[in-house]
């Protein structure tokens, strides 16, 4: 089937959509211009408001983004640290990306999977290969996956759905299993989203890349992804199909970071107003070099200082929305950003289809882009626990139907803490018992003991319940959660 016929058949009349006028270049530029040169008093007012944990508006966020004064920046970085601590405690949710395939009909100028890149080999994993990948991931202790593909007829929705089922079905020794699969695949029609929902995915994620329509058009010259409106309206179709946990993001470095932060926040506001719940997660990927792409340099480089700033502003603006950071970032940067807002991280990642199966020799030539944090998962876990954070493999909310608005209704009054902290402890204990090394067990033991002390103080009855469950895990039980 020709490319054009495929898209017509796949999307029919829906393919072209009306302009999504809740986000326009003019609107974002206007917000940024009206927030220029803020007074110290105004910045302090916004920080105080953010500390009440109710979020801040996109105009207020723009005001913080415009701040250049180092002392004021330090003040809102500190506020973001407090908000993060108050809502998420020390938890960091851990997941691994799993690439099913790297064929793609799009030509995103920054991506190694782009159609016109002839420098990489193409690979679509068979169901047997997916099984092997998942076995390898389970044997490292992973319980949560994010599955990804390029956009191509060869990896249509039926293939993705079959592959998700395969991944859920893989069981290994020590109770090894995948308990939540999130999906980051090309935008679908509402009908197709209904099929995807049946495969029991958790969150559906799609990055807008940049919210600036002119820059978007330059960077996405052909293929279905060149349709900005189809992509921006994707979360409406996901929500219509009943997928109420959705994740948004921008690829920082493609355009002015301030513009894209405001784009993300307008997107979040739109979803919140329309569906009663904003995005479940926001992602903050930064552009990395990729083999065979025509971009010789990052169009709008984001310095580490600006990156820190944008993470903090997002944390203050959407305090209850999870924030995801990938291994695109270095170990040092990741450690810093945990403090200022990040709540979920990938670990031990490969962006290569087949990258986890140790026997695959072709990894480099298949990758989407290069990564900075290449440490194995146990090293990452040890580092996190040593720094006083709790790695969490929890999947309880999604499995108990605490999703979308139901999740936010628990999160906003702080009730979710009663579940998150104990569940993080239980899943971390399970990891340490089944997959830990001497090093992670040593740091983990101390980390769990400190948490238990805190829990005893805050809620002695719950602490007793959790102590029993931790003992049961030590005896070999699996998958205990609240």
Rounded to 5 degrees, φ, ψ at 6 are: -60, -45
114 binds, among ligand SAM, ligand SF4, none (CB under 5 to 8 A by kind): ligand SF4
Nearer to ligand SF4, 108 or 342 (CB): 108
Total number of residues binding ligand SF4 (CB under 6 A)? Answer: 9
Q: Which of 132, 144, 179, 225 binds ligand SF4 (CB under 6 A)?
A: 225
Nearer to ligand SF4, 176 or 187 (CB): 187
11 near ligand SF4 (CB under 6 A):
no
286 near ligand SF4 (CB under 6 A):
no
Nearer to ligand SAM, 65 or 248 (CB): 248
Closest approach of ligand SF4 to the CB of residue 204, in Å: 15
Report the C-alpha gap between 388 and 376 in whole angstroms: 19
Report the C-alpha gap between 11 and 9 in whole angstroms: 6
Report the C-alpha gap between 382 and 373 in whole angstroms: 14
User: Scanning the structure block, which residue is given the tokens 């099913």?
Assistant: 100
290 binds, among ligand SF4, ligand SAM, none (CB under 5 to 8 A by kind): ligand SAM
Closest approach of ligand SAM to the CB of residue 152, in Å: 9
Nearer to ligand SAM, 362 or 370 (CB): 370
Report the C-alpha gap between 476 and 434 in whole angstroms: 9
185 near ligand SF4 (CB under 6 A):
no
232 near ligand SF4 (CB under 6 A):
no
Nearer to ligand SAM, 99 or 419 (CB): 99
The bridge status of strand 176-177 relative to strand 171-172 is antiparallel
User: Scanning the structure block, which residue is given the tokens 């005896």?
Assistant: 475
Nearer to ligand SF4, 199 or 227 (CB): 227
Nearer to ligand SAM, 288 or 343 (CB): 288
328 near ligand SF4 (CB under 6 A):
no
Report the C-alpha gap between 34 and 59 in whole angstroms: 8
212 binds, among ligand SF4, ligand SAM, none (CB under 5 to 8 A by kind): none
Closest approach of ligand SF4 to the CB of residue 256, in Å: 20
State in Å, rounded, how far the first CA of the chain is from the last one: 49
Closest approach of ligand SAM to the CB of residue 315, in Å: 20
151 near ligand SF4 (CB under 6 A):
yes
Closest approach of ligand SF4 to the CB of residue 348, in Å: 21
203 binds, among ligand SF4, ligand SAM, none (CB under 5 to 8 A by kind): none
231 near ligand SF4 (CB under 6 A):
no
Q: What is the contact surface with ligand SAM in residues (CB under 6 A)?
A: 110-111, 148, 150-151, 184-186, 206-207, 209, 251, 285, 287-288, 290, 328, 368-369
Closest approach of ligand SF4 to the CB of residue 323, in Å: 21
User: Exposed/middle/buried for 481, CB within 10 Å: 0-12, 13-18, 19+?
Assistant: middle
The answer to whether the Cα torsion of 107, 219, 241, 127 is positive or negative is: positive
Closest approach of ligand SF4 to the CB of residue 126, in Å: 20
Q: Which two tokens stand for residue 128?
A: 């047997």
206 binds, among ligand SF4, ligand SAM, none (CB under 5 to 8 A by kind): ligand SAM
Closest approach of ligand SF4 to the CB of residue 11, in Å: 15
Closest approach of ligand SF4 to the CB of residue 198, in Å: 24
User: Scanning the structure block, which residue is given the tokens 């506020």?
Assistant: 79
Q: Which residues contact 414 (CB under 8 A, 6 or more apart)?
A: 87
328 binds, among ligand SF4, ligand SAM, none (CB under 5 to 8 A by kind): ligand SAM
Closest approach of ligand SAM to the CB of residue 89, in Å: 29
366 near ligand SF4 (CB under 6 A):
no
Closest approach of ligand SAM to the CB of residue 58, in Å: 22
Nearer to ligand SAM, 23 or 287 (CB): 287
Site string for ligand SF4, 95-134 (x = CB under 6 A): ---------x-x-x--x-xx--------------------
10 near ligand SF4 (CB under 6 A):
no
Instruction: Tell me which residues touch ligand SF4 (CB under 6 A).
Output: 104, 106, 108, 111, 113-114, 150-151, 225
């Amino acid at each position: 089937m020709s490319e054009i016929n495929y898209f017509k058949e796949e999307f029919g009349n829906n393919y072209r959509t009306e302009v999504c006028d809740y986000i326009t270049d003019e609107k974002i530029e206007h917000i940024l211009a009206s927030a220029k040169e803020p007074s110290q008093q105004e910045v302090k007012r916004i920080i105080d408001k953010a500390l009440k944990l109710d979020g801040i508006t996109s105009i207020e966020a723009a005001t913080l983004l415009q701040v250049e004064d180092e002392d004021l920046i330090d003040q809102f970085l500190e506020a973001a640290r407090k908000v993060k601590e108050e809502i998420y405690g020390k938890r960091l949710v851990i997941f691994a990306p799993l690439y099913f395939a790297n064929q793609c009909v799009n030509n995103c100028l920054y991506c190694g999977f782009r159609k016109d890149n002839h420098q990489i080999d193409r690979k679509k994993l068979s169901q047997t290969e997916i099984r092997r990948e998942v076995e390898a991931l389970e044997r490292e202790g992973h319980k949560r996956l994010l599955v990804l593909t390029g956009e191509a007829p060869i990896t249509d929705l039926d293939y993705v759905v079959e592959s998700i089922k395969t991944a859920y079905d893989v069981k290994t020794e020590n109770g090894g299993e995948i308990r939540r699969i999130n999906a980051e695949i090309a935008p679908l029609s509402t009908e197709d989203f209904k099929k995807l929902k049946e495969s029991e995915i958790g969150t559906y994620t799609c990055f807008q890349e940049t919210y600036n329509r002119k820059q978007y058009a330059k960077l996405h010259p052909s293929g279905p992804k060149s349709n900005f409106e189809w992509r921006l309206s994707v979360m409406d179709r996901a929500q219509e199909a009943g997928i109420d946990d959705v994740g948004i993001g921008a690829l920082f470095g493609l355009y002015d970071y301030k513009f894209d932060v405001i784009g993300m926040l307008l997107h979040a506001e739109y979803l919140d107003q329309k569906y009663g719940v904003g995005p479940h997660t926001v992602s903050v990927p930064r552009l990395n070099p990729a083999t065979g792409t025509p971009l010789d340099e990052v169009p709008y480089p984001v310095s580490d200082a600006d990156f820190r700033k944008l993470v903090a502003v997002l944390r203050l603006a959407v305090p209850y929305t999870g924030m995801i950071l990938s291994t695109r970032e270095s170990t040092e940067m990741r450690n810093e950003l945990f403090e200022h807002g990040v709540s979920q991280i990938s670990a031990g990642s490969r962006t290569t289809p087949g990258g986890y199966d140790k026997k695959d020799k072709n990894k480099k030539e298949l990758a989407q882009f290069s990564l900075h944090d290449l440490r194995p998962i146990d090293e990452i876990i040890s580092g996190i626990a040593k720094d006083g954070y709790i790695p969490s493999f929890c999947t309880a909310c999604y499995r108990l139907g605490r999703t979308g608005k139901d999740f936010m209704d628990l999160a906003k009054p702080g009730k979710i803490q009663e579940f998150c902290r104990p569940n993080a402890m239980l899943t971390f204990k399970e990891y340490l018992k089944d997959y830990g090394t001497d090093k992670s067990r040593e740091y983990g033991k101390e980390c769990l003991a400190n948490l238990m002390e805190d829990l005893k103080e805050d809620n002695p009855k719950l602490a007793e319940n959790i102590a029993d469950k931790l003992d049961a895990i030590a005896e070999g039980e699996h998958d205990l959660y609240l």
